Structure 1
């Protein structure tokens, strides 16, 4: 079954109208290509030197330390792959990626996609210029350009509903 980030925007809208939120879990292949790229070389070099490190008294500490570090990294990667977290969640209150979130009322604009294809980023700029951008990557959504268009439509819809609510509040007074 394809994760939400690999589906078409029509599926996103169906989910949005049905549940009021769309969850984009980590795309496994997109997540795994970077750790393998950065860890493969050092891991192979360490494994080739490991017998020499374990034979030497001074190197034995570093040998066991490297084994422990690679074991922890492997456990963290396995946990992340199994749970597919952190999720990117777009709901009626705003956009949330892991622990970072931005409410629709605080969104200034959806920025331009930047970076080369494997590491593209879509910044969500807050209205407060001193706050950090929320950076969305291809780890959750395959087609960032389509996702950008969809987010802009949702942002316009949220802003229209805000102005209607403000007009209703003003007419009630």
Structure 2
């Protein structure tokens, strides 16, 4: 008689735990989606400080520029993006198309943000031509706040003549 009672208690505790985790994931999912929305708003306002506030202090951030665009730390990110927003992306309009989130642990997730921009002044595109790409972010919940701890930005490249 005692074994079924213990099994029932284990079952109830498991259900309660799963329900609590599902509810936490829903609010955490919204918080991570808010990072993407915050990125879009800060970019379109040319606000490098607001962009950098979405990042952990020790962030590793790889831009589409490549190896020279491997920014280490929030300060380096802020300096680079303050310059880029004033010189390359002065008329850029950023739009998030989709955000996909995969939890690794309750406090750690991978977020993929599909984006597009127009109005960029980059060497490999005609001015104003649509650019599309995907961010891969590793995000971590620190002291109740979700922050980007690592980022890889990849741009869909145009087809070259002869390809």
Question: Do the structures match in fold with TM over 0.5?
Answer: no
| Greater radius of gyration (CA) | 1
Q: Tell me the TM-score normalized by structure 1.
A: 0.27
